[in-house]
C-alpha cells in the first residue's frame, strides 16, 4: 500500500471549521433567540458571576453578557465580511493589473502599496477613521483598506506566474480582450491563493475591529462589540473578573478559527497538488 497516497487528517481545517462554525451558529441563533435584551439594564443583577440565570454573568449595568456576546458576533462577522470583500476586490484589481500589465503600471501600483505597507495596519485604520469617523461600516472600510497591500502582492504574484502560460499566450494571440484574459482565464487559477489570504485577513480584521472598539474608535453604541465589552469590563475587573471571560474567549476563538481555517485550506490544496 502506498502510504503517500493515503489522505491525512487535516487537523487545522477541522478545528478551524469547527470553531468558526460554532461561532457562526451562535450568531445565527441570536437573530431568532437571545436570553435577554442586549441593552436591558437590571440594577439588582449587577456584577454577577456565571449562574443558571446568566451563564456568563452580568456587567456593571446588570446586562446579560452571554446575550451581548451572541449579538456582538453579528458585528464581528459583518465587519470581517465587509473588510475582506473590500480587501479582496481592490487587492485583486490592483495586484492583478500590476502583475499582468507590468512596466510602469506595475512600478506605480506596487510603490503605492509599499507606501501603505510602511504604516502599521492599526495606524492606517486609525487614519482612515479619523477622516471618515467611527462606526460599523467605517471601521470595515478602514480595515479593508488596510488589507489591500498584502492581498495585492499575492494577486500580483499569481498573475505574473500565469500570464506567460501557454493558454494565456494563445488567448492573447487570437485577440481575446485583456480584461477577459485577466479575469476569466487567469483569476480562476489564482483564486485558491486569494481565498486563503481572505481567510487569514478575516481573522486579522476581527482582531483589529476589537482593538479599535476597545479604544472607542470602532463600533459605536448601542451595538455590542467584543472589544468595547472588554474595555468596559476593565473598569470593574477586580469586582467582577468574569465579565472579561465571554468577549475575550469569543475574540480568541474567532481569530484562531480563521487562522486555522486558512492554514488548513492551504495544506489541503498543497496535499491535492502533491497527488496530481
Task: Report pLDDT digits (tens) over 222-245.
Answer: 788 999 999 999 988 888 889 999
Q: pLDDT by residue (tens digit) across 245-269?
A: 999 999 999 999 999 999 898 888 7
pLDDT greater than 60 at residue 211? yes
Average pLDDT over residues 119-144: 86
- Summarize pLDDT for 18-36 with one digit per residue, the tens: 999 999 999 999 999 999 9
Looking at residue 1, what is its pLDDT? 43
Give the confidence band of 132 by pLDDT, cuts at 50, 70, 90: confident
The predicted structure's pLDDT at residue 156? 94
- Ramachandran sector of residue 150 (left: φ over 0; alpha: ψ -120 to 50; beta: rest): alpha
Number of H helices, E strands in the chain: 10, 0
Contact 234, 244 (CB under 8 A): yes
Q: Which DSSP symbol is given to 8?
A: P
Mean of the per-residue pLDDT values of the chain: 89
C-alpha grid cell for residue 3? 502510504
Residue 5 confidence (pLDDT) = 52
pLDDT at 2 over 60: no
- What is the average per-residue pLDDT within 109-116? 90
Cis peptide before 274 (omega within 30 of 0): no
Q: In the chain, at which residue ranges do the beta strands (DSSP E only) sit? A: none
Phi, psi of 221 (to 5 degrees): -60, 150
What predicted TM-score, i.e. pTM, was given to this entire model?
A: 0.88
Each residue's pLDDT tens digit, 45-102: 899 989 988 999 999 899 999 999 999 999 999 999 999 999 999 999 999 999 999 8
Q: Which band of pLDDT confidence, cut at 50, 70 and 90, is reported for residue 44?
A: confident
Fold of the 12-23+55-275 domain: MetI-like fold (1.10.3720)
pLDDT at 28: 96
Break the chain into its structural domains and give their ranges. 12-23+55-275
Amino acid at each position: 500500500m502506498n502510504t503517500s497516497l493515503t489522505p491525512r487528517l487535516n487537523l487545522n481545517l477541522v478545528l478551524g471549521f469547527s470553531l468558526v462554525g460554532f461561532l457562526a451558529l451562535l450568531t445565527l441563533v441570536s437573530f431568532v433567540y437571545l436570553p435577554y435584551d442586549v441593552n436591558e439594564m437590571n440594577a439588582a443583577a449587577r456584577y454577577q458571576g456565571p449562574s443558571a440565570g446568566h451563564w456568563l454573568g452580568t456587567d456593571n449595568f446588570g446586562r446579560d453578557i452571554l446575550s451581548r456576546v451572541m449579538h456582538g458576533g453579528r458585528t464581528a462577522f459583518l465587519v470581517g465580511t465587509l473588510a475582506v470583500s473590500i480587501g479582496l476586490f481592490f487587492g485583486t484589481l490592483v495586484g492583478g493589473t500590476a502583475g499582468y500589465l507590468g512596466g510602469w503600471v506595475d512600478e506605480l501600483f506596487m510603490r503605492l502599496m509599499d507606501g501603505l505597507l510602511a504604516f502599521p495596519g492599526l495606524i492606517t485604520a486609525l487614519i482612515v477613521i479619523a477622516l471618515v469617523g467611527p462606526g460599523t461600516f467605517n471601521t470595515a472600510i478602514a480595515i479593508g483598506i488596510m488589507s489591500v497591500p498584502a492581498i495585492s502582492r499575492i494577486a500580483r504574484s499569481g498573475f505574473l506566474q500565469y500570464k506567460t502560460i501557454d493558454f494565456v499566450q494563445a488567448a492573447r494571440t487570437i485577440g481575446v480582450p485583456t480584461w477577459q484574459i485577466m479575469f476569466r482565464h487567469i483569476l480562476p487559477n489564482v483564486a485558491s491563493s486569494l481565498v486563503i489570504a481572505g481567510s487569514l485577513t478575516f481573522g486579522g480584521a476581527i482582531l483589529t475591529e476589537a482593538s479599535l472598539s476597545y479604544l472607542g474608535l470602532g463600533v459605536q453604541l448601542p451595538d455590542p462589540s467584543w472589544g468595547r465589552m472588554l474595555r468596559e469590563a476593565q473598569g470593574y475587573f477586580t469586582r467582577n473578573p468574569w465579565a472579561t471571560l465571554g468577549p475575550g474567549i469569543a475574540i480568541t476563538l474567532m481569530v484562531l478559527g480563521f487562522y486555522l481555517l486558512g492554514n488548513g485550506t492551504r495544506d489541503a490544496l498543497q496535499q491535492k497538488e502533491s497527488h496530481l
